[in-house]
A and B are shown apart, each in its own frame.
Chain A
Protein backbone atom coordinates (compact mmCIF):
# COMPACT_ATOMS: atom_id res chain seq x y z
CA UNK A 1 0.00 0.00 0.00
CA UNK A 2 1.17 3.44 -0.66
CA UNK A 3 0.01 6.99 -0.94
CA UNK A 4 -1.90 8.62 -3.75
CA UNK A 5 1.29 10.33 -4.82
CA UNK A 6 3.30 7.12 -5.21
CA UNK A 7 0.37 5.37 -6.84
CA UNK A 8 0.04 7.97 -9.54
CA UNK A 9 3.81 7.94 -10.05
CA UNK A 10 3.59 4.16 -10.33
CA UNK A 11 0.96 4.37 -13.04
CA UNK A 12 3.13 6.76 -14.95
CA UNK A 13 6.13 4.49 -14.69
CA UNK A 14 4.36 1.35 -15.74
CA UNK A 15 2.67 3.05 -18.67
CA UNK A 16 5.49 2.81 -21.24
CA UNK A 17 5.85 -0.94 -20.75
CA UNK A 18 2.15 -1.57 -20.93
CA UNK A 19 1.66 0.62 -24.00
CA UNK A 20 4.60 -0.95 -25.81
CA UNK A 21 3.44 -4.48 -25.15
CA UNK A 22 -0.13 -3.60 -25.94
CA UNK A 23 0.91 -2.12 -29.26
CA UNK A 24 3.18 -5.10 -29.90
CA UNK A 25 0.29 -7.42 -29.25
CA UNK A 26 -2.54 -5.61 -30.97
CA UNK A 27 -1.16 -3.85 -34.05
CA UNK A 28 0.51 -6.78 -35.82
CA UNK A 29 -2.18 -9.16 -34.67
CA UNK A 30 -4.91 -6.97 -36.09
CA UNK A 31 -3.00 -6.76 -39.34
CA UNK A 32 -2.58 -10.52 -39.39
CA UNK A 33 -6.31 -10.96 -38.95
CA UNK A 34 -6.95 -8.50 -41.75
CA UNK A 35 -4.47 -10.19 -44.10
CA UNK A 36 -5.89 -13.58 -43.29
CA UNK A 37 -9.14 -12.51 -44.90
CA UNK A 38 -7.47 -11.45 -48.14
CA UNK A 39 -6.22 -13.22 -51.19
CA UNK A 40 -2.80 -11.65 -51.04
CA UNK A 41 0.36 -12.94 -52.66
CA UNK A 42 3.57 -10.93 -52.71
CA UNK A 43 4.31 -12.28 -56.19
CA UNK A 44 1.11 -10.73 -57.48
CA UNK A 45 1.07 -7.20 -56.07
CA UNK A 46 -2.05 -5.19 -56.63
CA UNK A 47 -4.16 -8.31 -56.91
CA UNK A 48 -5.38 -8.28 -53.30
CA UNK A 49 -9.03 -9.03 -52.87
CA UNK A 50 -11.36 -10.03 -50.10
CA UNK A 51 -11.38 -13.77 -49.74
CA UNK A 52 -13.57 -14.38 -46.72
CA UNK A 53 -12.57 -17.42 -44.78
CA UNK A 54 -11.16 -19.28 -47.73
CA UNK A 55 -7.62 -18.96 -46.38
CA UNK A 56 -8.76 -20.67 -43.22
CA UNK A 57 -10.54 -23.44 -45.05
CA UNK A 58 -7.45 -23.86 -47.19
CA UNK A 59 -5.26 -24.15 -44.13
CA UNK A 60 -7.60 -26.29 -42.09
CA UNK A 61 -8.10 -28.79 -44.88
CA UNK A 62 -4.41 -29.02 -45.66
CA UNK A 63 -3.10 -32.36 -44.38
CA UNK A 64 0.21 -30.64 -43.69
CA UNK A 65 -1.60 -28.52 -41.12
CA UNK A 66 -2.60 -31.46 -38.96
CA UNK A 67 0.83 -32.93 -39.33
CA UNK A 68 2.22 -29.58 -38.17
CA UNK A 69 -0.01 -29.47 -35.10
CA UNK A 70 0.97 -32.98 -34.22
CA UNK A 71 4.65 -32.16 -34.72
CA UNK A 72 4.40 -28.98 -32.65
CA UNK A 73 2.88 -30.86 -29.73
CA UNK A 74 5.31 -33.74 -30.16
CA UNK A 75 8.27 -31.39 -29.93
CA UNK A 76 6.90 -29.59 -26.85
CA UNK A 77 5.90 -32.73 -25.01
CA UNK A 78 8.89 -34.79 -26.10
CA UNK A 79 11.39 -32.18 -25.05
CA UNK A 80 9.55 -31.47 -21.79
CA UNK A 81 9.50 -35.18 -20.99
CA UNK A 82 13.21 -35.65 -21.62
CA UNK A 83 14.33 -32.47 -19.91
CA UNK A 84 12.14 -32.72 -16.82
CA UNK A 85 12.93 -36.38 -16.11
CA UNK A 86 16.55 -35.98 -17.12
CA UNK A 87 16.81 -32.72 -15.24
CA UNK A 88 15.52 -34.25 -12.01
CA UNK A 89 17.92 -37.18 -12.30
CA UNK A 90 20.87 -35.00 -13.18
CA UNK A 91 20.17 -32.44 -10.47
CA UNK A 92 19.92 -35.20 -7.86
CA UNK A 93 23.29 -36.46 -9.06
CA UNK A 94 24.92 -33.03 -9.04
CA UNK A 95 23.56 -32.33 -5.57
CA UNK A 96 25.76 -35.14 -4.16
CA UNK A 97 29.16 -34.31 -2.75
CA UNK A 98 31.83 -34.81 -5.42
CA UNK A 99 35.14 -33.53 -6.65
CA UNK A 100 35.11 -30.66 -9.14
CA UNK A 101 31.40 -29.90 -8.90
CA UNK A 102 31.96 -26.42 -10.27
CA UNK A 103 33.57 -27.76 -13.44
CA UNK A 104 30.79 -30.27 -13.99
CA UNK A 105 28.28 -27.46 -13.67
CA UNK A 106 30.16 -25.49 -16.28
CA UNK A 107 30.13 -28.46 -18.62
CA UNK A 108 26.44 -29.07 -18.10
CA UNK A 109 25.32 -25.46 -18.51
CA UNK A 110 27.14 -25.04 -21.84
CA UNK A 111 24.48 -26.27 -24.30
CA UNK A 112 22.02 -23.67 -23.01
CA UNK A 113 24.38 -20.93 -24.10
CA UNK A 114 24.73 -22.24 -27.65
CA UNK A 115 22.71 -20.54 -30.34
CA UNK A 116 20.10 -22.82 -31.93
CA UNK A 117 21.55 -22.54 -35.41
CA UNK A 118 24.95 -23.73 -34.24
CA UNK A 119 23.53 -26.55 -32.17
CA UNK A 120 21.44 -27.79 -35.06
CA UNK A 121 24.27 -27.59 -37.59
CA UNK A 122 26.76 -29.36 -35.34
CA UNK A 123 24.38 -32.19 -34.59
CA UNK A 124 23.22 -32.48 -38.17
CA UNK A 125 26.63 -32.65 -39.78
CA UNK A 126 29.07 -33.92 -37.27
CA UNK A 127 26.95 -36.41 -35.39
CA UNK A 128 23.86 -37.42 -37.36
CA UNK A 129 25.31 -37.40 -40.86
CA UNK A 130 25.03 -40.98 -42.17
CA UNK A 131 28.40 -40.85 -43.90
CA UNK A 132 30.75 -38.68 -41.95
CA UNK A 133 28.96 -38.28 -38.62
CA UNK A 134 30.28 -39.69 -35.36
CA UNK A 135 27.16 -41.75 -34.84
CA UNK A 136 27.72 -43.42 -38.18
CA UNK A 137 31.29 -44.23 -37.19
CA UNK A 138 30.10 -45.63 -33.85
CA UNK A 139 27.52 -47.79 -35.62
CA UNK A 140 30.12 -49.15 -37.99
CA UNK A 141 32.43 -49.77 -35.08
CA UNK A 142 29.93 -52.19 -33.53
CA UNK A 143 29.02 -53.60 -36.94
CA UNK A 144 25.71 -51.87 -37.51
CA UNK A 145 24.38 -50.12 -40.59
CA UNK A 146 24.70 -46.32 -40.14
CA UNK A 147 21.32 -44.76 -39.54
CA UNK A 148 20.29 -41.62 -41.40
CA UNK A 149 18.69 -39.84 -38.49
CA UNK A 150 17.40 -36.74 -40.24
CA UNK A 151 15.96 -38.64 -43.18
CA UNK A 152 14.42 -41.55 -41.32
CA UNK A 153 13.52 -40.07 -37.96
CA UNK A 154 13.52 -36.33 -38.52
CA UNK A 155 11.13 -35.38 -35.74
CA UNK A 156 12.88 -37.56 -33.21
CA UNK A 157 16.23 -36.09 -34.21
CA UNK A 158 14.95 -32.55 -33.77
CA UNK A 159 13.48 -33.40 -30.38
CA UNK A 160 16.87 -34.81 -29.42
CA UNK A 161 18.72 -31.68 -30.48
CA UNK A 162 16.28 -29.33 -28.76
CA UNK A 163 16.28 -31.46 -25.61
CA UNK A 164 20.07 -31.27 -25.53
CA UNK A 165 19.78 -27.49 -25.56
CA UNK A 166 17.18 -27.30 -22.80
CA UNK A 167 18.39 -30.04 -20.47
CA UNK A 168 20.89 -27.69 -18.78
CA UNK A 169 18.16 -25.16 -18.08
CA UNK A 170 15.98 -27.74 -16.35
CA UNK A 171 18.92 -29.25 -14.51
CA UNK A 172 20.24 -26.00 -13.13
CA UNK A 173 16.89 -24.69 -11.96
CA UNK A 174 16.05 -27.98 -10.29
CA UNK A 175 19.51 -28.11 -8.74
CA UNK A 176 19.06 -24.63 -7.30
CA UNK A 177 15.72 -25.70 -5.91
CA UNK A 178 17.23 -28.86 -4.42
CA UNK A 179 19.93 -26.86 -2.72
CA UNK A 180 17.32 -24.63 -1.13
CA UNK A 181 15.70 -27.63 0.56
CA UNK A 182 16.03 -27.25 4.29
CA UNK A 183 18.70 -29.62 5.62
CA UNK A 184 16.78 -29.97 8.89
CA UNK A 185 13.72 -31.19 7.01
CA UNK A 186 15.76 -33.98 5.48
CA UNK A 187 17.19 -34.87 8.86
CA UNK A 188 13.75 -34.83 10.42
CA UNK A 189 12.54 -37.20 7.72
CA UNK A 190 15.50 -39.45 8.42
CA UNK A 191 14.64 -39.44 12.13
CA UNK A 192 11.08 -40.34 11.19
CA UNK A 193 12.45 -43.42 9.47
CA UNK A 194 11.91 -42.37 5.84
CA UNK A 195 14.13 -44.20 3.37
CA UNK A 196 15.76 -42.65 0.32
CA UNK A 197 12.75 -43.36 -1.90
CA UNK A 198 10.12 -42.02 0.47
CA UNK A 199 12.30 -38.99 1.14
CA UNK A 200 12.34 -38.36 -2.60
CA UNK A 201 8.61 -38.81 -3.08
CA UNK A 202 7.29 -37.11 0.04
CA UNK A 203 9.88 -34.41 0.58
CA UNK A 204 12.07 -33.68 -2.44
CA UNK A 205 9.50 -33.95 -5.21
CA UNK A 206 6.90 -31.69 -3.54
CA UNK A 207 9.67 -29.21 -2.81
CA UNK A 208 10.64 -29.25 -6.48
CA UNK A 209 7.10 -28.71 -7.73
CA UNK A 210 7.48 -24.94 -7.98
CA UNK A 211 10.72 -25.25 -9.89
CA UNK A 212 9.24 -27.87 -12.19
CA UNK A 213 6.34 -25.53 -12.91
CA UNK A 214 8.75 -22.76 -13.85
CA UNK A 215 10.71 -25.14 -16.09
CA UNK A 216 7.55 -26.22 -17.88
CA UNK A 217 6.27 -22.67 -18.32
CA UNK A 218 9.47 -21.15 -19.65
CA UNK A 219 10.31 -24.08 -21.87
CA UNK A 220 6.82 -24.27 -23.34
CA UNK A 221 7.01 -20.61 -24.29
CA UNK A 222 10.17 -21.26 -26.26
CA UNK A 223 9.35 -24.75 -27.52
CA UNK A 224 6.03 -23.78 -29.09
CA UNK A 225 7.98 -21.77 -31.61
CA UNK A 226 11.03 -23.91 -32.33
CA UNK A 227 12.22 -22.70 -35.70
CA UNK A 228 15.94 -22.43 -36.36
CA UNK A 229 16.61 -26.06 -35.52
CA UNK A 230 14.14 -27.15 -38.20
CA UNK A 231 15.28 -24.58 -40.71
CA UNK A 232 18.91 -25.66 -40.73
CA UNK A 233 18.46 -29.41 -40.29
CA UNK A 234 15.50 -30.78 -42.22
CA UNK A 235 13.80 -27.73 -43.68
CA UNK A 236 10.61 -29.29 -42.43
CA UNK A 237 11.09 -32.46 -44.40
CA UNK A 238 11.21 -35.02 -45.66
CA UNK A 239 7.84 -33.87 -47.00
CA UNK A 240 6.23 -32.33 -43.96
CA UNK A 241 7.40 -34.92 -41.49
CA UNK A 242 9.23 -32.41 -39.31
CA UNK A 243 7.24 -29.27 -40.05
CA UNK A 244 5.77 -27.60 -37.01
CA UNK A 245 3.24 -24.80 -37.07
CA UNK A 246 5.87 -22.09 -36.92
CA UNK A 247 7.77 -23.55 -39.82
CA UNK A 248 4.62 -24.15 -41.85
CA UNK A 249 3.59 -20.52 -41.60
CA UNK A 250 7.11 -19.37 -42.35
CA UNK A 251 7.17 -21.51 -45.48
CA UNK A 252 3.80 -20.23 -46.60
CA UNK A 253 4.79 -16.61 -46.09
CA UNK A 254 8.42 -16.29 -47.06
CA UNK A 255 8.86 -19.22 -49.43
CA UNK A 256 5.53 -19.17 -51.24
CA UNK A 257 4.85 -15.48 -50.61
CA UNK A 258 1.24 -16.31 -49.76
CA UNK A 259 0.54 -13.58 -47.20
CA UNK A 260 -3.15 -14.40 -46.87
CA UNK A 261 -2.62 -18.09 -46.25
CA UNK A 262 0.29 -17.55 -43.91
CA UNK A 263 -1.72 -15.03 -41.91
CA UNK A 264 -4.55 -17.48 -41.49
CA UNK A 265 -2.03 -20.05 -40.29
CA UNK A 266 -0.56 -17.50 -37.91
CA UNK A 267 -3.95 -16.77 -36.40
CA UNK A 268 -4.58 -20.46 -35.92
CA UNK A 269 -1.19 -20.76 -34.23
CA UNK A 270 -2.09 -17.87 -31.93
CA UNK A 271 -5.40 -19.47 -31.00
CA UNK A 272 -3.70 -22.79 -30.23
CA UNK A 273 -1.01 -21.09 -28.21
CA UNK A 274 -3.69 -19.26 -26.25
CA UNK A 275 -5.35 -22.51 -25.37
CA UNK A 276 -2.05 -23.87 -24.10
CA UNK A 277 -1.27 -20.59 -22.37
CA UNK A 278 -4.63 -20.54 -20.64
CA UNK A 279 -3.98 -23.82 -18.89
CA UNK A 280 -0.36 -23.01 -18.20
CA UNK A 281 -1.10 -19.61 -16.70
CA UNK A 282 -3.70 -21.08 -14.40
CA UNK A 283 -1.24 -23.69 -13.26
CA UNK A 284 1.55 -21.12 -12.79
CA UNK A 285 -0.67 -18.58 -11.10
CA UNK A 286 -1.63 -21.20 -8.55
CA UNK A 287 1.88 -22.45 -7.91
CA UNK A 288 3.56 -19.07 -7.75
CA UNK A 289 0.99 -17.67 -5.38
CA UNK A 290 1.67 -20.24 -2.69
Chain B
Protein backbone atom coordinates (compact mmCIF):
# COMPACT_ATOMS: atom_id res chain seq x y z
CA UNK B 1 0.00 0.00 0.00
CA UNK B 2 2.68 2.47 1.08
CA UNK B 3 4.74 1.56 -1.94
CA UNK B 4 1.78 2.24 -4.21
CA UNK B 5 1.26 5.72 -2.84
CA UNK B 6 4.94 6.58 -3.17
CA UNK B 7 5.02 5.37 -6.77
CA UNK B 8 2.04 7.55 -7.56
CA UNK B 9 3.76 10.47 -5.90
CA UNK B 10 6.91 9.75 -7.83
CA UNK B 11 4.96 9.74 -11.08
CA UNK B 12 3.36 13.08 -10.22
CA UNK B 13 6.72 14.62 -9.36
CA UNK B 14 8.14 13.23 -12.57
CA UNK B 15 5.35 14.77 -14.64
CA UNK B 16 5.71 18.20 -13.04
CA UNK B 17 9.51 18.21 -13.17
CA UNK B 18 9.63 17.11 -16.79
CA UNK B 19 7.08 19.75 -17.78
CA UNK B 20 9.08 22.49 -16.12
CA UNK B 21 12.34 21.14 -17.48
CA UNK B 22 11.01 21.10 -21.03
CA UNK B 23 9.55 24.60 -20.63
CA UNK B 24 12.91 25.93 -19.49
CA UNK B 25 14.67 24.13 -22.28
CA UNK B 26 12.05 24.98 -24.90
CA UNK B 27 13.66 28.15 -26.34
CA UNK B 28 16.78 26.15 -27.12
CA UNK B 29 14.84 23.25 -28.56
CA UNK B 30 12.76 25.64 -30.64
CA UNK B 31 15.89 27.32 -31.97
CA UNK B 32 17.29 23.94 -32.89
CA UNK B 33 14.11 22.91 -34.72
CA UNK B 34 13.75 26.22 -36.51
CA UNK B 35 17.27 25.96 -37.83
CA UNK B 36 16.11 23.09 -40.04
CA UNK B 37 13.10 24.90 -41.47
CA UNK B 38 12.84 27.10 -44.52
CA UNK B 39 12.39 30.78 -43.76
CA UNK B 40 8.74 30.56 -44.74
CA UNK B 41 8.08 27.65 -42.40
CA UNK B 42 9.98 29.40 -39.64
CA UNK B 43 7.36 32.12 -39.33
CA UNK B 44 4.36 30.01 -40.37
CA UNK B 45 1.25 30.38 -38.26
CA UNK B 46 0.34 28.05 -36.70
CA UNK B 47 3.97 27.10 -36.13
CA UNK B 48 5.14 23.68 -37.26
CA UNK B 49 6.75 21.67 -34.49
CA UNK B 50 8.15 18.54 -36.02
CA UNK B 51 6.22 18.06 -39.26
CA UNK B 52 7.99 20.21 -41.78
CA UNK B 53 10.48 19.58 -44.54
CA UNK B 54 13.78 19.29 -42.77
CA UNK B 55 16.57 21.11 -44.53
CA UNK B 56 20.19 21.88 -43.70
CA UNK B 57 20.57 24.69 -46.21
CA UNK B 58 20.53 27.35 -43.47
CA UNK B 59 23.77 26.02 -42.07
CA UNK B 60 25.52 26.26 -45.42
CA UNK B 61 24.13 29.70 -45.97
CA UNK B 62 25.33 30.95 -42.58
CA UNK B 63 28.79 29.55 -43.17
CA UNK B 64 29.06 31.11 -46.61
CA UNK B 65 27.69 34.42 -45.42
CA UNK B 66 29.79 35.00 -42.34
CA UNK B 67 32.39 32.28 -42.14
CA UNK B 68 31.32 30.49 -38.96
CA UNK B 69 34.53 28.51 -38.65
CA UNK B 70 36.69 31.59 -38.39
CA UNK B 71 34.63 32.87 -35.45
CA UNK B 72 34.46 29.42 -33.92
CA UNK B 73 38.23 29.21 -34.00
CA UNK B 74 38.46 32.66 -32.43
CA UNK B 75 36.17 31.55 -29.63
CA UNK B 76 38.21 28.42 -29.02
CA UNK B 77 41.51 30.27 -28.97
CA UNK B 78 40.23 33.05 -26.75
CA UNK B 79 38.38 30.88 -24.21
CA UNK B 80 40.98 28.12 -23.93
CA UNK B 81 43.89 30.53 -24.12
CA UNK B 82 42.63 32.81 -21.41
CA UNK B 83 41.68 29.90 -19.15
CA UNK B 84 45.04 28.14 -19.49
CA UNK B 85 46.95 31.34 -18.97
CA UNK B 86 44.80 32.06 -15.94
CA UNK B 87 45.46 28.61 -14.48
CA UNK B 88 49.21 29.00 -14.84
CA UNK B 89 49.12 32.24 -12.88
CA UNK B 90 46.50 31.06 -10.42
CA UNK B 91 47.76 27.62 -9.34
CA UNK B 92 50.82 28.94 -7.45
CA UNK B 93 48.76 31.73 -5.93
CA UNK B 94 46.06 29.33 -4.77
CA UNK B 95 48.73 27.03 -3.35
CA UNK B 96 50.19 29.89 -1.38
CA UNK B 97 46.87 30.98 0.02
CA UNK B 98 45.65 27.49 0.86
CA UNK B 99 48.80 26.06 2.40
CA UNK B 100 50.76 29.02 3.69
CA UNK B 101 47.97 31.29 4.84
CA UNK B 102 48.71 34.47 6.70
CA UNK B 103 46.47 36.83 8.59
CA UNK B 104 45.89 38.75 5.38
CA UNK B 105 44.98 35.82 3.15
CA UNK B 106 41.23 36.22 3.64
CA UNK B 107 41.50 39.92 2.83
CA UNK B 108 43.56 39.27 -0.27
CA UNK B 109 40.97 36.77 -1.50
CA UNK B 110 38.15 39.20 -0.83
CA UNK B 111 40.04 41.95 -2.57
CA UNK B 112 40.63 39.74 -5.60
CA UNK B 113 36.95 38.92 -5.81
CA UNK B 114 36.08 42.57 -5.39
CA UNK B 115 38.00 43.41 -8.56
CA UNK B 116 35.28 41.39 -10.29
CA UNK B 117 32.77 43.82 -8.83
CA UNK B 118 34.27 46.70 -10.75
CA UNK B 119 31.91 47.33 -13.63
CA UNK B 120 33.70 46.88 -16.94
CA UNK B 121 32.34 50.18 -18.19
CA UNK B 122 34.44 51.89 -15.55
CA UNK B 123 37.52 51.01 -17.54
CA UNK B 124 36.04 50.59 -20.99
CA UNK B 125 37.33 53.88 -22.33
CA UNK B 126 41.00 53.55 -21.34
CA UNK B 127 41.03 49.87 -22.31
CA UNK B 128 39.62 50.75 -25.70
CA UNK B 129 42.14 53.52 -26.21
CA UNK B 130 45.07 51.47 -24.93
CA UNK B 131 44.08 48.62 -27.19
CA UNK B 132 43.71 50.94 -30.15
CA UNK B 133 47.06 52.61 -29.54
CA UNK B 134 48.95 49.37 -29.02
CA UNK B 135 47.38 47.59 -31.94
CA UNK B 136 45.63 45.04 -29.74
CA UNK B 137 42.17 46.07 -30.86
CA UNK B 138 40.47 43.27 -32.75
CA UNK B 139 43.23 40.75 -32.04
CA UNK B 140 42.93 37.39 -30.33
CA UNK B 141 45.94 38.23 -28.15
CA UNK B 142 44.15 41.27 -26.83
CA UNK B 143 41.00 39.32 -26.01
CA UNK B 144 43.01 36.57 -24.30
CA UNK B 145 44.71 39.16 -22.09
CA UNK B 146 41.47 40.83 -21.05
CA UNK B 147 39.57 37.61 -20.43
CA UNK B 148 42.47 36.21 -18.40
CA UNK B 149 42.36 39.27 -16.19
CA UNK B 150 38.63 39.32 -15.68
CA UNK B 151 38.41 35.61 -14.90
CA UNK B 152 41.58 35.38 -12.81
CA UNK B 153 39.82 36.15 -9.49
CA UNK B 154 37.27 33.41 -10.13
CA UNK B 155 39.95 30.91 -11.11
CA UNK B 156 42.00 31.68 -8.01
CA UNK B 157 38.96 31.53 -5.77
CA UNK B 158 37.82 28.18 -7.16
CA UNK B 159 41.26 26.60 -6.99
CA UNK B 160 41.68 27.92 -3.47
CA UNK B 161 38.50 26.23 -2.30
CA UNK B 162 39.59 22.96 -3.89
CA UNK B 163 43.11 23.15 -2.51
CA UNK B 164 41.74 23.88 0.95
CA UNK B 165 40.18 20.43 0.95
CA UNK B 166 43.53 18.74 0.47
CA UNK B 167 44.96 17.95 3.90
CA UNK B 168 48.12 19.92 4.56
CA UNK B 169 49.66 16.86 6.23
CA UNK B 170 50.03 15.18 2.84
CA UNK B 171 52.12 18.05 1.54
CA UNK B 172 54.13 18.01 4.75
CA UNK B 173 54.68 14.29 4.27
CA UNK B 174 56.08 15.04 0.83
CA UNK B 175 58.36 17.65 2.36
CA UNK B 176 59.57 15.11 4.93
CA UNK B 177 60.09 12.64 2.11
CA UNK B 178 62.53 15.04 0.54
CA UNK B 179 60.38 16.65 -2.17
CA UNK B 180 61.29 20.18 -3.14
CA UNK B 181 58.55 22.77 -3.52
CA UNK B 182 58.24 22.27 -7.27
CA UNK B 183 58.19 18.48 -6.90
CA UNK B 184 55.61 18.80 -4.14
CA UNK B 185 53.37 20.75 -6.49
CA UNK B 186 53.97 18.55 -9.53
CA UNK B 187 53.91 15.06 -7.97
CA UNK B 188 51.56 15.49 -5.04
CA UNK B 189 49.35 18.56 -5.18
CA UNK B 190 48.45 18.69 -8.85
CA UNK B 191 47.47 15.01 -9.25
CA UNK B 192 45.34 15.25 -6.13
CA UNK B 193 43.69 18.44 -7.33
CA UNK B 194 42.98 17.23 -10.87
CA UNK B 195 39.19 17.10 -10.38
CA UNK B 196 39.17 20.61 -8.99
CA UNK B 197 41.46 21.94 -11.68
CA UNK B 198 39.30 20.29 -14.32
CA UNK B 199 36.09 21.87 -13.13
CA UNK B 200 37.80 25.25 -12.78
CA UNK B 201 39.00 24.86 -16.35
CA UNK B 202 35.52 23.98 -17.59
CA UNK B 203 33.67 26.74 -15.84
CA UNK B 204 36.11 29.35 -17.03
CA UNK B 205 36.02 28.13 -20.59
CA UNK B 206 32.26 28.50 -20.47
CA UNK B 207 32.45 31.95 -18.91
CA UNK B 208 35.03 33.07 -21.44
CA UNK B 209 33.13 31.52 -24.35
CA UNK B 210 30.00 33.42 -23.39
CA UNK B 211 31.65 36.66 -22.28
CA UNK B 212 29.95 39.39 -24.27
CA UNK B 213 31.06 42.77 -23.03
CA UNK B 214 34.74 42.88 -23.87
CA UNK B 215 34.48 40.59 -26.85
CA UNK B 216 31.81 42.82 -28.39
CA UNK B 217 33.60 46.07 -27.64
CA UNK B 218 37.19 45.12 -28.38
CA UNK B 219 36.77 43.05 -31.51
CA UNK B 220 35.38 43.88 -34.90
CA UNK B 221 35.91 41.43 -37.73
CA UNK B 222 39.26 39.69 -37.56
CA UNK B 223 39.23 38.41 -33.99
CA UNK B 224 35.49 38.41 -33.39
CA UNK B 225 34.44 35.29 -31.48
CA UNK B 226 31.00 33.71 -31.74
CA UNK B 227 29.37 36.24 -29.42
CA UNK B 228 30.07 38.97 -31.93
CA UNK B 229 29.23 36.71 -34.86
CA UNK B 230 25.75 36.26 -33.43
CA UNK B 231 25.33 39.90 -32.55
CA UNK B 232 25.75 40.68 -36.25
CA UNK B 233 22.41 38.91 -36.75
CA UNK B 234 20.58 41.33 -34.51
CA UNK B 235 19.60 43.64 -37.35
CA UNK B 236 17.18 41.63 -39.46
CA UNK B 237 17.41 41.56 -43.21
CA UNK B 238 14.18 40.16 -44.52
CA UNK B 239 13.16 36.68 -43.57
CA UNK B 240 15.90 35.36 -41.37
CA UNK B 241 14.58 33.30 -38.43
CA UNK B 242 15.83 30.01 -39.82
CA UNK B 243 19.28 31.38 -40.53
CA UNK B 244 19.43 33.08 -37.14
CA UNK B 245 18.52 29.75 -35.56
CA UNK B 246 21.16 27.91 -37.52
CA UNK B 247 23.80 30.44 -36.51
CA UNK B 248 22.66 30.32 -32.89
CA UNK B 249 22.72 26.55 -32.83
CA UNK B 250 26.24 26.54 -34.15
CA UNK B 251 27.36 29.13 -31.62
CA UNK B 252 25.98 27.38 -28.56
CA UNK B 253 26.29 23.71 -29.47
CA UNK B 254 29.99 23.24 -28.60
CA UNK B 255 29.70 24.72 -25.14
CA UNK B 256 26.30 23.17 -24.48
CA UNK B 257 27.68 19.72 -25.14
CA UNK B 258 30.81 20.40 -23.09
CA UNK B 259 28.65 21.68 -20.25
CA UNK B 260 26.33 18.70 -20.32
CA UNK B 261 29.16 16.23 -20.14
CA UNK B 262 30.70 17.98 -17.21
CA UNK B 263 27.66 19.21 -15.32
CA UNK B 264 28.69 17.50 -12.05
CA UNK B 265 32.09 19.19 -11.88
CA UNK B 266 30.55 22.39 -13.11
CA UNK B 267 27.99 22.62 -10.35
CA UNK B 268 30.52 21.73 -7.67
CA UNK B 269 32.88 24.38 -8.97
CA UNK B 270 30.16 26.98 -9.07
CA UNK B 271 29.39 26.69 -5.39
CA UNK B 272 32.81 28.16 -4.54
CA UNK B 273 33.23 25.74 -1.70
CA UNK B 274 30.19 27.05 0.10
CA UNK B 275 28.39 23.77 -0.45
CA UNK B 276 30.26 20.57 0.09
Contacts and interface: CB of A to CB of B under 8 A. Distances in A.
Q: CB atoms of A and B under 8 A apart anywhere in the complex?
A: yes
Top 5 closest pairs, chain A to chain B, by CB: A13-B92, A28-B123, A31-B126, A228-B212, A10-B96
Interface string A262-278: 11011101100110110
Nearest to A136: B45
A35 interface: yes
A138 B268 CA distance: 39
Given A107-B25, A118-B31, A172-B270, 4 more contacts: A97-B10, A254-B217, A262-B121, A266-B124
Label chain A's interface by main secondary structure: helix
6 contacts: A10-B99, A13-B93, A121-B234, A126-B245, A134-B30, A262-B125
B99 A90 contact: no
A115 B274 contact: no
Size band of the interface chain B makes with A: 35 or more
A32 B127 CA distance: 9
Contacts of B124: 249-250, 253-254, 262, 266
Interface string A3-30: 0001101110110111011001101110
Interface of A: 2, 6-7, 9-11, 13-14, 16-18, 20-21, 24-25, 27-29, 31-32, 35, 90, 93-94, 96-101, 103-119, 121-127, 132, 134, 137, 140-141, 164, 167-169, 172-173, 175-177, 180, 210-211, 213-214, 218, 221, 224-225, 227-228, 231-232, 245-246, 249-250, 253-254, 259, 262-263, 265-267, 269-270, 273-274, 276-277, 280-281, 284-285, 287-288
Nearest to A235: B234
A116 B13 contact: no
B108 A14 contact: yes
A14 B212 CA distance: 29
Contacts of A107: 21-22, 24-25
A108 B21 contact: yes
A125 B244 contact: yes
Contacts of B102: 7
B24 to A, nearest CB: 5
